[in-house]
Homo-oligomer: A and B are copies of this chain.
Amino acid sequence: MMSSPDAFDETRAVDLAYQSIRDQILSGEQAGGEWLRESDLAASLGVSRTPIREALRRLAAEGLVRHERNRGAQVQSWTFKDLQDVYALRSLVEPWACGLAAAGGRADLETLTRLADEMDAAATPPRPDLDTLTDLNSRFHDAILEATGNDRIRSMLASLVQLPFVWRTFSHYNPEELRRSLAHHHELVDALRAGNQTWAESVMRAHIQSAWTSVRRESGC
């Protein structure tokens, strides 16, 4: 699951540990609140505690695990308020970034188009492939952020989107919502191609608000 962005070298013990633990968390294999014992992880991955510790600290910095002094790390557990906070921030920053990308005219329209098409394909099989959709979706959004030329936005939002990951946003969509979400992506490409800042910003805002509505409904709050 979750293709590895080549910055990681599987032969390195730290990266192996980081990815493995991260996948366990994002896949829901490890429930929130679960303790992550260094010895256990080290034994199960066949490395020593040293790289495990480093991986855990990295994950703590990203907010995926909670670190307690002299007690260890546990999988971060999320509340509805966390989701609320994340979507509030995303719906402020990401539309703005999208507008910036449109105004700058540096977006990689070929890649964006390809990603949007691939998402269409991943959605059509008898059963939509949620893992692939999630992966393509995050790459689509990241490609837009990249086009802003402001790398700080990317790293800031990167840690934000991990929570929706855990909640598996796409599994909350009904067929019509999924179709609408995919349509938004194509509309975003058009807005970027037109270089229309307001249009791009508005579509992205609608896109996120729409997602938030689905997530909120499914959260039962």
Contacts and interface: CB of A to CB of B under 8 A. Distances in A.
Interface stretch (A88-96, A125-133, A204-212): A88-96
Contacts of A155: 63
Contact of A156 (B53, B58, B150, B156): B156
A162 to B, nearest CB: 11
A86 B62 CA distance: 19
How many chain copies?
A: 2
A108 B15 CA distance: 43
A203 interface: no
Contacts of A93: 89, 92-93
Instruction: Identify which of A63, A89, A92, A152 gathers the most chain B CB atoms within 10 Å of its CB.
Output: A152
A89 B155 CA distance: 12
A153 interface: yes
A85 B54 contact: no
A61 interface: yes
A151 interface: yes
A91 to B, nearest CB: 11
Contact of A152 (B53, B57, B85, B152): B85
9 contacts: A54-B54, A58-B61, A63-B155, A85-B153, A86-B152, A89-B150, A89-B153, A152-B160, A156-B156
Contact of A57 (B57, B88, B92): B57
Given A57-B54, A58-B61, A89 B156 contact: yes
Given A54-B57, A85-B153, 20 more contacts: A9-B69, A12-B69, A53-B54, A54-B54, A57-B57, A57-B58, A61-B62, A85-B152, A86-B152, A89-B93, A89-B152, A89-B153, A89-B156, A92-B92, A92-B93, A92-B96, A93-B93, A152-B160, A156-B156, A156-B159
